[in-house]
Amino acid sequence: MAPDTVSLRYFLVLAQELNFTRAAARIGIAQPALSARMRRLEAELGTSLLVRDTRSVVLTTAGAALAESAPPALAALDRAWDTARNAGAGELGTLRIGYSLSAGAETAPALVDKLIRSSPGLEVSAVPMATPDISPAVADGRIDAGITRGEQPGRGVRRFPLRHQRVGVQLAQHHPLAEHPEIEIADAAAYPLRLPDRTANPVIHDQLSALFRDSRPIPRFHTPAVSFDMSQRDLFDGLTLAPASEAAVTVAPAGITWRPLRGAPTMTIHLVLPRELSPLHRRIRTIAKTLAHELHWLPD
């Protein structure tokens, strides 16, 4: 049976001091207790480690061998304990995050960077996903966390607000409404409104279109023929406006700007975690809350 590590650590102090009085004082125990520990340690090993007399302490051959080999063994054991503690605290392992494309320009990179800096032992991977697929993937364990816009439906998950964003419209810089710092909802509704296909994110599609529900005349919604229209020609030509959160500011191409809609409710980006939170999930949650506070993503 291997000796207890406390006695082994006491022995190493004694091997350095070669004096029971000094070693006991350095450890912070009584000298008789240290002597009793050493006797037990020798009994466990079945050999003498020390030659004692009234004036000195000398290491035996076995004691010298133990004094040389024990420190790296104890260091390895300490690392094992630290590894176990860090894993138990959610600071080690692989973290898989799925995020919607709309969160990829700013929100997801900021959270990933914060996670890596806060937990160097975590291996973080982040992949863009279709928004309706994120919550089910978190629930069944294919990914550990998700970042989505809106109250996405899904069983077996918990959603935590990560960021509130203003809602506005993208429009051509030469559009007449671009002269205003804020745009009235009714004024925006007078133009065709460009919305992506509803299947990409039904929750946000419905939230954006609901802004104009009471506008008169009834607003006209324009859906591109493809789910991600690279040209956005109608928007560049000033023929349409595109309802969007303020995240659009960071990804707007040249010639396109963004203006908030006066009185529009904010849009919420959520952190999606499993219903049952592991230490890793709790750590993600803690770091996300810290980040949201630091960057003023949520009201205090």
**Distance from the Cα of residue 293 to its chain's centroid:** 14
The SS3 of residue 6 is helix
Nearest to 167 by CA among 32, 260, 289: 260
State the pLDDT at residue 230. Answer: 54
Q: Which tokens in the block code for residue 218?
A: 């009834």
Q: pLDDT 10s per residue in the chain (300 long)?
A: 556 788 889 999 999 999 999 999 999 999 999 999 999 999 988 899 999 876 778 999 999 999 999 998 888 877 777 666 666 665 557 889 999 888 887 899 999 999 888 887 778 889 999 888 999 999 999 999 999 988 888 889 999 999 999 999 999 999 999 999 999 999 999 999 988 778 878 888 888 888 888 887 788 887 765 445 555 788 888 888 989 888 888 877 888 999 999 999 999 999 999 999 888 898 899 999 999 999 999 987
State the pLDDT at residue 154. Answer: 82
State the pLDDT at residue 226. Answer: 45
Q: Give CB contacts under 8 A, 24+ apart, made by 210-214.
A: 211/167, 211/185, 211/243, 211/261, 211/264, 212/185, 212/188
Q: Global pTM?
A: 0.67
State the pLDDT at residue 113. Answer: 92
**Distance from the Cα of residue 226 to its chain's centroid:** 33
